[in-house]
């Protein structure tokens, strides 16, 4: 678990800045691709640890990221062909959707397929990813611009209000945290707290 969240959030902001520069990077070597994947992987590992450590506002736990979902051709991805995206996925069958933050964390941390996506001028603008569990179902295209926004939101998330309720089932506390800057934030926090206390947690015997 994360004790002090500040170093982790600062690292996330640094990676967001690095990714911004990668959008205009002209030369890509094997090492560049490695560093890019490393930055993405570490960032989402950090986010998942922050989620699990309850150091983020509840509002941001519900963040959803825009993506393009590409259907599988049912050809079957394997260790030897997982780089052949146009064989494995039908790029004529796509749909725009939003993926939950924690789901995207799991897709990347357990990625079976991960490939940078470049435009015609060889500028990176996103990445393709699919986890071991999803590899024969769908592929996701995530835009770097959207990821940078998320990293900046999470990296600057320092809750200043906390309410909790003990849950006998989980033997732990259900925690509501908010970053309150104005009266609307305060009202939203009160609403979430009220909803929390209205839930009936049954006691295990």
Tokens 């049954």 map to which residue? 202
The pTM for the full model equals: 0.89
Residue 139, classified by CB atoms within 10 Å of its CB into exposed (0-12), middle (13-18) or buried (19+), is buried
* Three-state secondary-structure class, residue 65: strand
3-state secondary structure of 136: coil
pLDDT, tens digit (0-9, with 9 covering 90-100), for 138-165: 999 999 999 999 999 999 999 999 988 8
The per-residue pLDDT of the chain, averaged, comes to 92
- Which residues are 176's β-sheet partners? 163
Which among 116, 117, 3 has a CA at the least distance from the CA of 53?
Answer: 3
The domain ranges of the chain are 6-155, 161-198
Give the dihedral sign, CA 25/139/45/105.
positive
């Amino acid at each position: 678990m994360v004790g002090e969240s500040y170093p982790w959030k600062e690292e996330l902001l640094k990676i967001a800045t690095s990714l911004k520069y990668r959008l205009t990077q002209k030369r890509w070597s094997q090492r560049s691709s490695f560093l890019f994947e490393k930055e993405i992987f570490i960032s989402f590992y950090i986010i998942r640890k922050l989620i699990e450590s309850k150091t983020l506002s509840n509002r941001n736990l519900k963040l959803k990221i825009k993506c393009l979902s590409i259907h599988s051709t049912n050809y079957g991805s394997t260790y030897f062909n997982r780089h052949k995206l146009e064989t494995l996925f039908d790029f004529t069958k796509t749909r725009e959707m939003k993926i939950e933050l924690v789901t995207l964390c799991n897709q990347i941390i357990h990625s079976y397929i991960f490939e940078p996506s470049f435009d015609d001028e060889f500028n990176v603008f996103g990445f393709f990813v699919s986890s071991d569990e999803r590899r024969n179902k769908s592929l996701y295209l995530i835009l770097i611009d959207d990821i940078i926004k998320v990293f900046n939101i999470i990296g600057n998330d320092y809750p200043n209000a906390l309410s909790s309720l003990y849950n006998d089932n989980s033997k732990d506390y259900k925690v509501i945290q908010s970053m309150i800057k104005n009266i609307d934030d305060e009202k939203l926090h009160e609403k979430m707290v009220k909803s929390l206390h209205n839930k009936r947690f049954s006691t295990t015997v």
